[in-house]
Amino acid sequence: MKSFSRAIRHSAPFMALALLAPPLLAAAAPAHRARATAPKPVAADNAIIPLPLTPIVPATQRLCAARTATGLGYTMLRAGAGAKPAGDSTVLVNYIGYLAATGAVFDQGMQTPMPVGQVIPGFSQGLQLLGKGAIVRLCIPASLGYGAQASGPIPANSDLVFQVELLDFRTAAEMADMAKARAAQAGSQADAAQQPK
């Protein structure tokens, strides 16, 4: 107890100084800073927002810093950790896709499961660069996208850009084990339901 009260006694001047410091600094501030300016009122904009709402991604976010041998562009925005998905894995991703030429967003999704081998080649190659938690910008040339074929809001011969966050993934073997476990559980529940009571 004596050491505690001695520590308080020795630290009391420092605590008092800390309590006094803010008023001293405020008193020393120039007079032109002391006056608070009232926020300017915001005027209402009565313009009609065109539908469908199509955000445009700025040109600076349509560029990639590196290229693979196949021509896929990419910029690692946040590195991930651990193993990377293979071509037969299923991933869980957050993503946004937009046109490289205009920045018009054509698709986006949150916590979306995707089989790596069943998406366009550039997207598949990009997914296989990522560890869990990674965020990447993929610049996909038309040759690794939809090519000369239009697809919904994507015109033919369009270069695409995606920002992708890899949340998680499962290998093909893990997916098969999960499917077997679900089937076994469903079978045991069906058997239990058929038992006489």
pLDDT on residue 197: 66
126 lies in a domain? yes
Encode pLDDT of 145-174 as tens digits: 999 999 999 999 999 999 999 999 999 899
Number of domains in the chain: 1
Q: Which domain holds residue 105?
A: 59-176
Q: What is the 3-state secondary structure (H, E, C) of the chain?
A: CHHHHHHHHHHHHHHHHHHHHHHHHHHHCCHHHHCCCCCCCCCCCCCCCCCCCCCECCHHHCCCCEECCCCCEEEEEECCECCCCCCCCEEEEEEEEEECCCCEEEEEEEEEEEEHHHCCHHHHHHHCCCCECCEEEEEECHHHCCCCCCECCECCCCCEEEEEEEEEEECHHHHHHHHHHHHHHHHHHHHHHHCCC
> Percentage of the chain surpassing pLDDT 70?
81
Adjacency order of strands within the sheet including 160-170: 66-67, 73-78, 135-140, 160-170, 90-99, 105-115
In a domain, 5, yes or no: no
Better pLDDT: 16 or 179? 179
| Segment among 45-49, 58-62, 193-197 with least mean pLDDT | 193-197
Residue found by looking up tokens 């058929």 in the block:
194
Q: Is residue 36 part of a domain?
A: no
Q: Considering the domain boundaries, does residue 9 fall inside one? A: no
In a domain, 92, yes or no: yes
Instruction: Tell me, yes or no, whether 120 lies in a domain.
Output: yes
pLDDT in tens, 43-56: 888 988 877 777 89
Q: How far apart are CA 110 and CA 167, in angstroms?
A: 10
Instruction: Assign 114 a pLDDT band (cuts: 50, 70, 90).
Output: very high
> Is 196 inside any structural domain?
no
Say which CATH number the domain at 153 has. 3.10.50.40
Residue 25 lies in a domain: no
Residues 3-31, mean pLDDT to the nearest whole number: 41
Mean pLDDT across the chain, nearest whole number? 84
Say if residues 158 and 146 touch (Cβ distance below 8 Å).
Answer: yes
